[in-house]
Amino acid sequence: MVAILYLVSALLFIFALRGLSHPESSRMGNIFGVIGMIIAVFTTLMFKSVLSYYEIGAAILIGGAIGSFIALRIEMTALPQLVAAFHSLVGLAAVFVAAAAFYDPVAFSIGKVGSIKTASLVEMSIGTFIGAITFSGSVLAFGKLQGTISGKPIVFKFQHLINALIFFLIIFLIVLFVINQSPTIFWTIVVVSILLGFLVVIPIGGADMPVVVSMLNSYSGWAACGIGFTLSNNLLIITGALVGASGAILSYIMSKGMNRSIINVVLGGFGGEQDTSASKDNSDKIVKQGNAEDAAYIMKNADSVIIVPGYGMAVAQAQHALREMGDILKKEGIEVRYAIHPVAGRMPGHMNVLLAEANVPYEEVLELDEINHDFPMTEVSFVIGANDVTNPAAKTDESSPIFGMPILDVEKSQSVLFVKRSMATGYSGVDNELFYRDNTTMLFGDAKKMCEDIVKSLSS
């Protein structure tokens, strides 16, 4: 009976993910997920060995209240941080469950204290290891996304060598743990894994965060899998594998969006170094500057506008003002669409959620492959808070660090409007030659303020 209920729960989780294939079916999918979780929890509460309902009920209420409070209060622009924070909790929970299983193996029927089955010990320590890495890696990712820690990659000598050594130390500790089952070694594995989690994320810079967040998502799944093997629980194994696969695919999509291998992202240290050298060559080039009225004029006289949002839009919280601008243009009979680069923002799908929040219909929001061939037929590209993802150097300049990265072909549209705070280079540290083209107008200022000003000029 228990096995069957767990199976139902696992199937519901699969349907929950399946539902996300379309916005229409997605809400039903989320409900499937909730039902699956309720079944899983109540099935477990029915176990004969589970007696302390009050304590467990209280724990669920406390956790649930905290989780609900945060989820209902959070600003959509802070979503990447929130997801990172949640991943850290899954990792930590995995560590605690593994520790509980180690201290009371009888409750999980995996042996007795001091004589736990070898297979269970291996699975337990692997679950602990991945859980602890997920925890500390996510905490650091949270700090970088929140801005409490500098988003710049922190690189030091022998970094990768040190990480490799720590990794082998952990394997050695796991072997030792399996042999002597010592609590001291168990906690040493936890501490060293936490250290490794920090070291793995520290060299990775802000704009590579989509990959990191996806990877930690994946890890949290593998941690659940490890615990699933320890408890011989198929539900945990299935769910962990689903989550693990999901995170892995997202990481793959994100690194492909930057034309870099996952390894390259993980090794980190990208960007930051080239800033100075790249900007020098262009100091004598002329930039055409404009203001909100110019932008309003250019767009008003166009037939079609494609808006390209980037992380800068999220920072400035400009999505609502931007949508307002789009609405006015649409009323004028102008075709307005949005082009989303796979790595725009700080997490997969970040821009889509922000535009959805601002009530932009999702039919108007298109992915790179869907819209890229339309740029030559488009009169105005309105780039707001994005830079590297539009840089033609990715196609032409083999020496550029972003060479080979798929870009949105805004340079093919008749004119380009760039909303930027300053002439600073993007995350890659590469200068964007688009800024100096004749058909480009730079709109310097805060993204939100600029959109509001354009709205004012359009309405007057």
Partner 1 sequence: MEAHSSEVFVIGLTVFFLACIIGYYVVWSVTPALHSPLMGVTNAISSVIIVGAILAAGPQGFDTSKIFGLIGVVLASVNIFGGFLVTYRMLSMFKKKTKKTKEKE
Query: Within positions 81 to 100, which residues make up the interface with partner 1, using CB under 8 A?
Result: 82-83, 86-87, 89-90, 92-94, 96-97, 99-100
CA distance linking residue 310 with residue 339, whole number of Å: 10
Answer for the pair 414, 298: CB distance below 8 angstroms, yes or no: no
Contact status: 326 vs partner 1 (CB under 8 A): no
Decide whether 36 or 268 has the Cβ nearer to partner 1. Answer: 36
DSSP state of 289: B
Of the candidate residues 77, 136, 233, 391, the single one contacting partner 1 (CB under 8 A): 233
Question: What residue type is assigned to position 345 of the chain?
Answer: G
Taking CB under 8 A as the criterion, which residues in 359-388 touch partner 1?
Answer: 359-363, 365, 367
Q: How many residues bind partner 1 (CB under 8 A)?
A: 116
Question: 10 Å Cβ neighbour count for 291?
Answer: 15
Decide whether 317 or 439 has the Cβ nearer to partner 1. Answer: 317
CA distance linking residue 422 with residue 400, whole number of Å: 21
CA distance linking residue 406 with residue 96, whole number of Å: 42
Catalytic annotation, pick one of 208, 388, 409, 431:
388
Of the candidate residues 49, 148, 180, 460, the single one contacting partner 1 (CB under 8 A): 49
Nearest approach, Cβ of 159 to partner 1 (angstroms)?
Answer: 28
Nearest approach, Cβ of 271 to partner 1 (angstroms)?
Answer: 23
Strand partners, 441: 417
Of the candidate residues 197, 244, 326, 401, the single one contacting partner 1 (CB under 8 A): 244
Question: What residue type is assigned to position 354 of the chain?
Answer: L
Nearest approach, Cβ of 237 to partner 1 (angstroms)?
Answer: 5
Decide whether 207 or 442 has the Cβ nearer to partner 1. Answer: 207
The yes-or-no answer on residue 431 being catalytic is no
Decide whether 218 or 432 has the Cβ nearer to partner 1. Answer: 218
Per-residue DSSP letters for 375-439? GGG-SEEEEES--GGG-THHHH-TTSTTTT-----GGGSSEEEEEESSS---TT----GGGGSTT
Contact status: 214 vs partner 1 (CB under 8 A): yes
Contact status: 20 vs partner 1 (CB under 8 A): yes
Question: 10 Å Cβ neighbour count for 213?
Answer: 29
Answer for the pair 163, 203: CB distance below 8 angstroms, yes or no: no
User: Which 3 state secondary structure label does DSSP give 308?
Assistant: strand
Decide whether 64 or 376 has the Cβ nearer to partner 1. Answer: 64
Contact status: 22 vs partner 1 (CB under 8 A): yes
Q: Record the tokens describing residue 195, joined without a space.
A: 């250290």
Question: What residue type is assigned to position 139 of the chain?
Answer: V
Taking CB under 8 A as the criterion, which residues in 344-363 touch partner 1?
Answer: 347-350, 352-353, 356-357, 359-363
* Catalytic machinery residues: 388
